[in-house]
Amino acid sequence: MSHPPKRKMFSLLSRYTPPYSKIPLNMPKPFSTTTPPPQNISIVTTLTNLILTSTDAQSLTQALLSPSINWTPHLVNTILKHLWNHGPKALQFFHLLRNHPTYIHSPSSFDHAIDIAARLRNYNTISTLLHSMRTLRLHPSPKTFAIIAERGD
């Protein structure tokens, strides 16, 4: 039986989500008007260009898994935002970092990746990302639900 896209997404959510009473609510972060240091902008630009221009997956993997890069959720989220118009490359980047020995994706990074996959209507990737969140004991937030519902037209 084939379901319309919205129905398919909501069935994915119900399969990978614990009861509402167990979902921790994230408090909003304080608003900050500080700009990142120029060094961080340079790192983001360099890494974004590397991801966009790379044609060899193995060399890209080696570069991204380099211990010289200090991966943080902020850095990953910023790169995902820069790759917004290049969805497949953004998802490739997100997937490659899942193999990093010391970095673990944050819930906000998953939200960015789910948003990109939903925009591409890649429901299998959304399902995989939700399953990965559950494996890491990260539960979808109300924001995650909103992203999927908004993109599921």
- With a pLDDT cut of 70, the percent of the chain lying above it is 73
Q: What is the pTM of this model?
A: 0.73
20-34, 44-58, 125-139: the lowest-pLDDT one:
20-34
Helix (H) or strand (E) holding 2: none
User: Strand, coil or helix: what is 67?
Assistant: coil
Confidence of residue 45 (pLDDT cuts 50, 70, 90): very high
pLDDT surpassing 70 at residue 27: no
pLDDT at 19: 52
Helices (H), 19-99: 38-53, 57-64, 73-82, 87-97
Rg of the Cα trace of the chain? Answer: 16
- With a pLDDT cut of 90, the percent of the chain lying above it is 54
User: Strand, coil or helix: what is 70?
Assistant: coil
pLDDT at 14: 55
pLDDT at 72: 94
Let me know: does 107 contact 133? Beta carbons within 8 Å: yes
Q: Where do the structural domains in the chain lie, given as residue ranges?
A: 71-153
User: Strand, coil or helix: what is 71?
Assistant: coil
User: Can you tell me the mean pLDDT for 90-110?
Assistant: 94
